Amino acid sequence: GGLRIQSTINSEIQETAEKLFKNKVEELRVKMGDQLNGGMLSVDVPTGGIRACIGGYDFRQSQFNRAFRAVRQIGSSFKPIIYTVALQNGASFDSLEIDEPLEVPLDGEKVWKPRNWTNRFDGMMTLARAISCSNNIVTVKTFLKFGHKMVIDLAKRFGYHRGLSPYPSLALGIAEATVEENVAAFNIFANNGVYVKPYLIEWVKDEWGNRLWENDSESRRVLDSKISSQMAN
């Protein structure tokens, strides 16, 4: 119909992303099987404009767009939320906590015993070390110290809204999100504490050059810039 549509995609970044994504999936498929797939987004930090978008390994095999539609538990990528809450409530990355065996009573007679991915305990460490090596025990302890309410409230401001159950396992990422939602959340740290919603289309014009539609980016401040700077560092 003569419409002109301007996307946010950068062809060079897109081409590079496709090569890197393909190589990584092939590497992982050797270990995890040929059904492994995924999605990938690269966004412009201040605007949220999507510079590269990959919805899966091979469009001919599957047209399902995993960047926008696939919902998965986000695991350790939820941990920065826990440490952000800690910083907001008087802790610092120099604060000390002990990595040790932990038992958390649940409903009834059940006891939850989280473990580290290394299957060892490293004793006293700073919160900075705990987040940098993705320590589970210190993260759960920090979650228990500040409580699920503050964590869930902040997670919602980050754009997470699925699987935010008030259980200690939330600290280890039982929340669910799409790739788009997770990228938008992480971008807050890069963008001085401001959330911007990722988008793909800049504008639409008719055949005469009249602008019919223009993107109006959603943005909001989520964190104080000092907190986001500490987290980014």
Asked whether residue 180 carries a pLDDT value surpassing 80, the answer given is yes
Asked whether residue 109 carries a pLDDT value surpassing 80, the answer given is no
Confidence tier at 106 by pLDDT (50, 70, 90): confident
Q: Is the Cβ–Cβ distance between 85 and 154 less than 8 Å?
A: yes
DSSP 109: T
In the chain, beta strands by DSSP E: 4-7, 40-43, 50-54, 72-73, 96-99, 104-105, 111-112, 123-126, 176-177, 194-196, 201-205, 211-214, 219-221
What is the distance between the alpha carbons of residues 212 and 209, in angstroms, rounded to a whole number? Answer: 9
Q: Closest Cα partner for 82 from 45, 43, 137?
A: 137
Asked whether residue 107 carries a pLDDT value surpassing 90, the answer given is no
Contacts of 10 (CB under 8 A, 6+ apart): 51, 52
Model pLDDT for residues 59-87, shown as the tens digit of each residue: 999 999 999 999 999 999 999 999 999 99
Q: Closest Cα partner for 158 from 231, 56, 53?
A: 231
Average per-residue pLDDT for the chain: 96
Asked whether residue 108 carries a pLDDT value surpassing 90, the answer given is no
Q: Is the Cβ–Cβ distance between 3 and 11 less than 8 Å?
A: no
DSSP 163: S
